[in-house]
Structure 1
Amino acid sequence: MAYDNICKYLAERFPEQFARWLMGEVAEPVQVLPTELSEEPMRADSVILLGLQQGILHLEFQTDPDPEIPFRMADYRLRLYRKYPQLSVRQVVIYLRKTRSQRVFQTFFRLERLSHEFEVVRLWECNLPARVDWPALLPFRVLSQVEDPGETLREVVAELERLPESSEQRELAAATAVLAGLALDRGLIRQIMRSLDMRESVIYQEWRAEALREGLEAGRKEGLQQGLQQGLQQGLQQGLQQGLQHGEATLVLRLLRRKLGSLDPALENQIWALPPSQLEALGEALLDFHSVEDLTAWLARR
């Protein structure tokens, strides 16, 4: 399961917590709206309705900077207006992995007279709540502004262990394990999170299935590449051997013709069929030949 898909899952399951984190107190009810914004297939990460007529919170999660994000946010905004013209919209792009790229600071789209602005959140600059009453944000804490991601992960595990509901604990643990991979070694993650059972979670199962697919595809590509390299190497070796044999045969035939005169085509075919080692031996032996019969006798001993 891709990192942004995990974030989408969390936003859909805990929309109120994301709204409170980014906007403060919000009126109830808070609900997730359909993310497909037009007849054309274009789907937002998360679209949350904030209370009755209070507005919409539109979230986009990005692992790494994308130069198309400003245009996409403008496009999403127009589509939201087409579908919900009476509601105000607050748009936020949440960047997950720390980067030095200046793209994570871009908050607008400009095209001639068209201008659109949106907000950005860089997780590595955020101080996220470390309390179990904000479970939706626990998987993001390792990526936030912390001094020691490994120690932070241990704190998150302790908070997850306090959750009373087992299915919620499994899903949040799996999300934490996957997202922590953006900051920590997988071996360390497994060591710290070994007390939590997440094997039955939806996130874990999809993540394992995706990892398996990626592994199979990588194996297929690696096997194909190795096959191509091996075939190329074998082809080059065979080509060199054939070139060496052809050159040796040409030289030997030229020397034989100068010493013995024209040769019978059948004898020439026999010489063409000799391997390089025997051609080299023939090249030495022909110095002692006095007639075609000497050549015929030599070939008969091969």
Structure 2
Amino acid sequence: MAEYDNLCKILAEKYPRDFTRWLLNQEPRTIEILKTELSIEPIRADSVTFLQTENRILHLEFQTTIKSQKPISLRMLDYYVRLTRKYQVPVTQVVIFLQETSNEIAFTEEYVSEVTTHRFRVIRMWEQDSALFLSNFALLPLAPLTRTDSAQALLSQVAEEIAKIPDIETRQNTAAYTEILAGLKFEKDFIRQLFREEIMQESVIYQDILHQGEQKEALKYTLRLVNRRFGEIDLLIIERLQVLSTEQLEGLG
């Protein structure tokens, strides 16, 4: 389900101020999107965003599934140490779980070992009040995943809010974002009743997400082959593989 995590990363980097207001409850004077070059697991970088305000780094990690080769809590400690060492400013870390689950991983907010305890925030979208998300088109695509007594009524309300967006391109892209994320919770037929198919087809962002998802899968497959053949490979080689197209990766495989 990498396409869902990747979409949330796109949203956070497209609307960094809105995500900062939501998660830090403050208005940043300056904000910068940092590269995800700190990742020692390049495949994981598709769901990680680093936003730097004037005095803090906001580290966001989006999660659809709870399966991970390295525990999420350990990964958060790993990032925290490297971010602190490199930038020497306070770091706020937030793991955002998109799809409802009762698994304890979604309710774990710290890493604990014999000598270390590291804490981070966890947001479970299904517990969030929908009002905040309905009132901000930057966060609107996440609204279908929020708390509600009537999921269908909520999605209908989301569609109504999208229809009010005056700019055509923004409206198309927001509809595309929303339809994709709503797929985590709703049947496709019901989603299509509310969102016209042509909006999805016209959305450049939607097409980009589809292509990125295909490229990510091809990259994962190629890296598995390379690791199996040569063992652990240099990070520089991995970075060169990341920029190849789906077709180039398939040919290399």
TM-score normalised by structure 2 residue count? 0.75
1:40–1:3 CA distance, 2 compared to 1 (3 A): closer
The answer to which structure, 1 or 2, has the higher relative contact order (CA under 8 A, 6+ apart) is 2
Calculate the aligned-residue CA RMSD, in Å. Answer: 2.5
Q: Which residue of 2 aligns with 1:276?
A: none
CA displacement, residues 4-40 of structure 1 (integer Å, 9 cap, x when unaligned): 0000000000011111111212221222121221687
Query: Is residue 125 from structure 1 mapped to residue 137 from structure 2 by the alignment?
Result: no
* Cα distance, 1:146 vs structure 2: 1.0
Structure 2 distance, partners of 1:183, 1:12, is 24
Q: Which residue of 2 aligns with 1:173?
A: 175
Give the aligned residue type for 2:83.
Answer: L
Q: Which residue of 2 aligns with 1:82?
A: 85
Indicate the percent of aligned positions where both proteins have the same amino acid.
38
* Cα distance, 1:210 vs structure 2: 6.9
Q: Which residue of 2 aligns with 1:284?
A: none
Q: Kindly indicate whether the alpha-carbon contact (under 8 Å) linking 1:107 and 1:119 is maintained by their aligned counterparts in 2.
A: yes
Higher Cα radius of gyration:
1
Give the aligned residue type for 1:142.
Answer: P
Q: Which residue of 1 aligns with 2:141?
A: 139
CA displacement, residues 108-166 of structure 1 (integer Å, 9 cap, x when unaligned): 11232122110100010000335765112111111100122222111111111111222
Structure 2 distance, partners of 1:29, 1:133, is 23
1:14–1:210 CA distance, 2 compared to 1 (3 A): closer
Alignment of 1:125-204 (within 5 A): 125-129=127-131, 134-194=136-196, 197-204=199-206
Query: Is residue 55 from structure 1 mapped to residue 61 from structure 2 by the alignment?
Result: no
* Cα distance, 1:72 vs structure 2: 0.7
Q: Which residue of 2 aligns with 1:45?
A: 48
Structure 1 distance, partners of 2:32, 2:214, is 34
Paired residue total: 211
Give the aligned residue type for 1:61.
Answer: F
* Cα distance, 1:3 vs structure 2: 0.4
Give the aligned residue type for 1:26.
Answer: E
1:16–1:79 CA distance, 2 compared to 1 (3 A): same
Q: Kindly indicate whether the alpha-carbon contact (under 8 Å) linking 1:142 and 1:152 is maintained by their aligned counterparts in 2.
A: yes
TM-score normalised by structure 1 residue count? 0.64
Structure 2 distance, partners of 1:26, 1:212, is 37
CA displacement, residues 69-123 of structure 1 (integer Å, 9 cap, x when unaligned): 00110111111112212x1000000000111111111111123212211010001
1:206–1:80 CA distance, 2 compared to 1 (3 A): same
Q: Kindly indicate whether the alpha-carbon contact (under 8 Å) linking 1:132 and 1:162 is maintained by their aligned counterparts in 2.
A: no
Q: Which residue of 2 aligns with 1:112?
A: 114
Structure 1 distance, partners of 2:40, 2:66, is 27
Which sections of structure 2, spanning at least 5 residues, go unmatched? 216-253
Q: Kindly indicate whether the alpha-carbon contact (under 8 Å) linking 1:132 and 1:163 is maintained by their aligned counterparts in 2.
A: no
